[in-house]
Amino acid sequence: MPLGEFDLIERYFRRASRRRDVLLGVGDDAALLEVPPGRALVAATDTLVEGRHFLPGAPPRSVGHQALAVNLSDLAAMGAEPAWALLSLSLPDADERWLEGFADGFFALADAHGVELVGGDTVRGPLVVTVEILGFVDAARALKRSGARPGDTLHVSGWLGESAAGLATLLREGAGAASDDPLVRRHLFAEPRLALGKALAGIATSAMDVSDGLLGDLRKLCAASGVGATLELDALPLSEALLSRYPPAECENFALHGGDDYELLFTLPADCPGPGEPGAGGLPGLTRIGRITAGSGVRCTRDGIEVAVSGAGYDHFG
Rounded alpha-carbon distances, angstroms, from residue 108 to 68, 69, 101, 112, 143: 10, 11, 11, 6, 27
Q: State yes or no: residue 121 binds ligand ADP (CB under 6 A).
A: yes
Q: State yes or no: residue 120 binds ligand ADP (CB under 6 A).
A: yes
Residue 45 beta carbon to ligand ADP: minimum distance, rounded to whole angstroms: 14
Which H or E run includes 256? helix 248-257
Instruction: Select from 121, 173, 234, 277 the one that contacts Mg ion (CB under 5 A).
Output: 121
Positions 178 through 217 that interact with ligand ADP (CB under 6 A): none
What is the C-alpha to C-alpha distance for residues 128 and 125, in angstroms, rounded to an integer? 8
Task: For 228, list phi and psi in degrees, rounded to 5.
Answer: -110, 180
Q: Could you tell me whether strands 116-124 and 81-91 are parallel, antiparallel, or unpaired per DSSP bridges?
A: parallel
Q: State yes or no: residue 109 binds ligand ADP (CB under 6 A).
A: no
Phi and psi based region of residue 7 (left: phi greater than 0; alpha: psi -120 to 50; beta: remaining): alpha
Choose the one of ligand ADP, Mg ion, none that binds residue 228, judging by a C-beta under 5 to 8 angstroms depending on kind: none
Q: Which residues, including other chains, have CB under 8 Å from residue 311's CB and lie 6 or more apart?
A: 215
Q: State yes or no: residue 26 binds ligand ADP (CB under 6 A).
A: yes
Q: State yes or no: residue 89 binds ligand ADP (CB under 6 A).
A: yes
Residue 5 beta carbon to ligand ADP: minimum distance, rounded to whole angstroms: 6
Cβ distance 158 to 263 under 8 Å?
yes
Phi and psi based region of residue 202 (left: phi greater than 0; alpha: psi -120 to 50; beta: remaining): left
For ligand ADP, which stretch binds (CB under 6 A), given 26-34, 63-71, 239-247, 271-279?
Answer: 26-34
For Mg ion, which stretch binds (CB under 5 A), given 119-127, 164-172, 262-270, 303-311?
Answer: 119-127
- Which residue, 96 or 121, has its beta carbon nearer to Mg ion? 121
DSSP letter assigned to residue 17: -
Instruction: Select from 2, 16, 28, 306 the one that contacts ligand ADP (CB under 6 A).
Output: 28
Instruction: Select from 55, 78, 80, 87 the one that contacts ligand ADP (CB under 6 A).
Output: 87
Q: Could you list the residues that contact Mg ion (CB under 5 A)?
A: 121
Binding site for ligand ADP (CB under 6 A): 9, 13, 26-29, 87, 89, 117, 119-122
